[in-house]
């Protein structure tokens, strides 16, 4: 008897193991290799002829790729430090220098890392210059001013005035003129001349990657969903950092193939998917594993989010790359009024057939978070679906109360119709 029971248990474990293996996203390994190679190359370039630029996550990276400048993203690094549970100590360094605890934890952590070379990869390579685009927040302006003073390197500000309603002509003209000025700035920084053919090639590849990314996210309209938005948060790293390169196009082609195959074979990311939710705001990086486990246990899949969808600019036009790029960068999700944000949320909810929305009220990100209470009411009014708002911070775990947040998520999911 005893032996037989053991054998049955062994079979079940093997089956569960096989099932887990079947559900695992295989392209994740390729992504890790790609990002590892990228960070190693960037670190190796420090102190060589190769130019390194630090750039904000919403900034126009394509011109950098075109000029063979290595783009480095403090926000991506911040996410990495957060996920590795190392950002709090870096924040504390900045706080010791007099930076308020109420400032964005990406900025605090980055300043701490710049000073101590701390974090999972021993800090970022020193920049030759900085590119700051305020389409995601005003915080990046103050943060990059500080970096510019700290490193003593030039700062280019790509200024994208806030857009209420349709894009006004004078905002578009300002954005296009700056795109030309930005190119001239890069010519000065690199000593190279602008190569229009090269730029077109980069622009086409960037658009190709963005369009692949949009298709990948769209695979999640399937039931069961082939991934959760937590996977998308990880898998988006190349689109944020290296769009415009062939490697990224290749990687996303592979990922799209895998996602399509999963959909075809009905392979979901969760063992069971009873509920589908929309996520709003930047991830709680240090808590992804725990939250992922919780949602899996609750058989609830976070099928889409407003964050990774921010990298699926619509309406980019390869015929007029500079202009359409200038427009796309100006009209990103965080640079538009609440009504337009609400439209995006509702359209995601409809497209992905969700049962509700979870909003992360993110202490570190005012443009993403202020207005969420109104957006939540508007979402429910327009879709009839419930919304849960949880309080946290994207990388400063000192503000997070796990028991309380997880309890609220459980209550919310259990009460979904």
Task: Point out which residues bind other proteins (CB under 8 A).
Answer: 97-100, 102-104, 107, 134, 137-139, 141-143, 145-146, 148-149, 155, 157, 159, 161-164, 168-171, 173-174, 177-178, 181, 337-339, 361, 363, 366-367, 369-374
Q: What angle do CA 35, 36, 37 make, to 5 degrees?
A: 90
Q: What angle do CA 408, 409, 414 make, to 5 degrees?
A: 100
Exposure of 16 by Cβ count < 10 A (0-12 exposed, 13-18 middle, 19+ buried)?
exposed
Q: How far is the CB of 180 from other proteins (least distance, A)?
A: 10
Instruction: Decide whether 104 or 302 has the Cβ nearer to other proteins.
Output: 104
191: DSSP letter: S
Q: How far is the CB of 280 from other proteins (least distance, A)?
A: 14
Q: How far is the CB of 403 from other proteins (least distance, A)?
A: 20
Q: How far is the CB of 368 from other proteins (least distance, A)?
A: 9
CB 134 within 8 Å of CB 144: no
Non-local (6+) Cβ contacts of 304 within 8 A are 217, 220, 229, 278, 279, 348, 351, 352, 354
Instruction: Decide whether 143 or 207 has the Cβ nearer to other proteins.
Output: 143
First to last CA, the chain: 44
CB 287 within 8 Å of CB 212: no
Q: What HEC string does 53-103 produce?
A: EEECCCCCCHHHHHCCCEEECHHHHHHHHHHCCCHHHHHHHHHHCCCCCCC
Instruction: Decide whether 144 or 230 has the Cβ nearer to other proteins.
Output: 144
Cis omega (within 30 of 0) for bond into 366: no
CB 209 within 8 Å of CB 250: no
Q: How far is the CB of 120 from other proteins (least distance, A)?
A: 26
Strand partners, 391: 361
Q: How far is the CB of 31 from other proteins (least distance, A)?
A: 31
Q: Could you please report the per-residue DSSP string of 232-251?
A: HHHHTHHHHHHTTSHHHHHH
Helix or strand run (H / E) with residue 275? strand 275-280
Q: How far is the CB of 181 from other proteins (least distance, A)?
A: 6
What is the per-residue burial (b if ≥16 Cβ within 10 Å, else e) of 346-375? bebbebbebbbbbbbbbbbbebbbeebeeb
Instruction: Decide whether 220 or 335 has the Cβ nearer to other proteins.
Output: 335
CB 64 within 8 Å of CB 132: no
Q: How far is the CB of 104 from other proteins (least distance, A)?
A: 7
Instruction: Decide whether 141 or 385 has the Cβ nearer to other proteins.
Output: 141
Q: How far is the CB of 63 from other proteins (least distance, A)?
A: 16
Instruction: Decide whether 206 or 372 has the Cβ nearer to other proteins.
Output: 372
Instruction: Decide whether 111 or 208 has the Cβ nearer to other proteins.
Output: 111
Q: How far is the CB of 167 from other proteins (least distance, A)?
A: 11
Nearest to 220 by CA among 206, 230, 210: 230
48: DSSP letter: S
């Amino acid at each position: 008897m005893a032996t037989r029971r053991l054998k049955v248990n062994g079979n079940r474990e093997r089956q569960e193991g096989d099932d887990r293996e079947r559900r695992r996203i295989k392209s994740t390994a390729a992504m890790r290799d790609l990002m590892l190679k990228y960070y190693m190359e960037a670190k190796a370039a420090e102190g060589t002829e190769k130019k390194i630029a630090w750039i904000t996550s919403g900034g126009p990276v394509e011109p950098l790729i075109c000029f063979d400048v290595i783009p480095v993203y403090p926000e991506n690094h911040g996410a990495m430090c957060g996920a590795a549970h190392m950002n709090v100590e870096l924040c504390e360094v900045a706080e010791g220098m007099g930076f308020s605890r109420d400032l964005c934890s990406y900025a605090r952590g980055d300043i701490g890392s710049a000073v101590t070379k701390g974090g999972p990869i021993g800090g970022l390579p020193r920049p030759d210059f900085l590119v700051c685009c305020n389409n995601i927040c005003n915080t990046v302006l103050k943060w990059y001013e500080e970096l510019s003073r700290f490193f003593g390197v030039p700062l280019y500000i790509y200024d994208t005035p806030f857009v209420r309603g349709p894009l006004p002509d004078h905002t578009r003209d300002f954005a296009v003129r700056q795109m030309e000025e930005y190119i001239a700035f890069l010519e000065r920084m690199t000593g190279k001349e602008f190569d229009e053919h090269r730029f077109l090639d980069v622009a086409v590849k960037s658009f190709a990657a963005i369009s692949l990314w949009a298709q990948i996210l769209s695979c999640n309209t399937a039931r069961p969903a082939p991934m959760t938005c937590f996977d998308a948060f990880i898998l988006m790293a190349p689109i944020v950092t290296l769009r415009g390169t062939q490697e990224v196009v290749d990687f996303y082609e592979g990922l799209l193939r895998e996602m399509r195959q999963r959909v075809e074979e009905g392979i979901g990311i969760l063992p069971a998917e009873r509920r589908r939710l929309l996520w709003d705001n930047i991830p709680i990086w240090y808590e992804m594993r725990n939250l992922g486990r919780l949602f899996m246990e609750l058989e609830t899949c976070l099928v889409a989010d407003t964050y990774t969808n921010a990298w699926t600019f619509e309406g980019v036009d390869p015929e007029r790359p500079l202009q359409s790029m200038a427009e796309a960068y100006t009209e990103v999700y965080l640079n538009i009024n609440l009504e337009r944000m609400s439209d995006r949320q509702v359209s995601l909810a409809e497209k992905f057939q969700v049962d509700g929305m979870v909003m992360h009220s993110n202490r570190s990100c005012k443009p993403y978070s202020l207005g969420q209470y109104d957006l939540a009411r508007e979402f429910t009014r327009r879709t009839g679906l419930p919304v849960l708002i949880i309080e946290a911070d994207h990388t400063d775990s000192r503000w997070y109360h796990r028991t309380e947040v997880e309890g609220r998520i459980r209550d919310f999911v259990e009460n979904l119709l």
